[in-house]
Structure 1
Amino acid sequence: MSHSLFTGPALHSPHNAPLISDRREVMEGDMKNVMAERLMLAVEDAVKKGCEEMRTRAALAAQALCCADADHDDHDEEEPTVH
C-alpha cells in the first residue's frame, strides 16, 4: 500500500474510495429514487385533481336531479294534460 507523507494511504488508493462502478450504481440509485418520488407526486396530484373533478360532476348531477324533481313536483300540481 502506498502512503502519502501527510495523510497516510494515498488518495488514489483503492482502499480509500468506492470503485467508479460502485459510485455509478449509487448515483443511478439516487436518480431512481428521485424519479420514483417525482412519479409518486405526479400520480398523487392527478388523483387529487381527478377526485375534485368527480366531486364537481357529482354535485352538478345532484343539483340537476333536484331541479328535475322540483320541476316534476310543480308539474304534478297542475291539471293533467295529454302528452
Structure 2
Amino acid sequence: LDRRSTFAAEVCGCQVEIGAAGAMGAAAVVEAAGGTALQACDAAATVFQNIMGSVCDLVQGIVEIPCHSRNAALASMAFLCADM
C-alpha cells in the first residue's frame, strides 16, 4: 500500500487511513486466531474491497462526521472479514 498509494487522508480521503487500519486489524485477528498468512491476506483484501470507492460525504461541511462513522464500521468489519 505504501509503495503504490499513500496513507495520507489529505491526498486520498479517509478511506485510505481507515481502510488500511481495518485491513491490518482483520489480518491481526486472523493471525491471533491461528490462521495462515494466506487467510490473513484474504481477510485484509476483503476489507479493502468493502471500503474502496467510498465517497467523502461532508455533514454540514464537517469532515470528521463520516470518518467517525467509518472508523466504527471498519472496526467491526475487521472481525467480520476475519471470520469469513
TM-score, length basis structure 2: 0.27
The structure richer in strand per residue is 1
Higher RCO (CA 8 Å, separation ≥ 6 residues) = 2
TM-score, length basis structure 1: 0.28
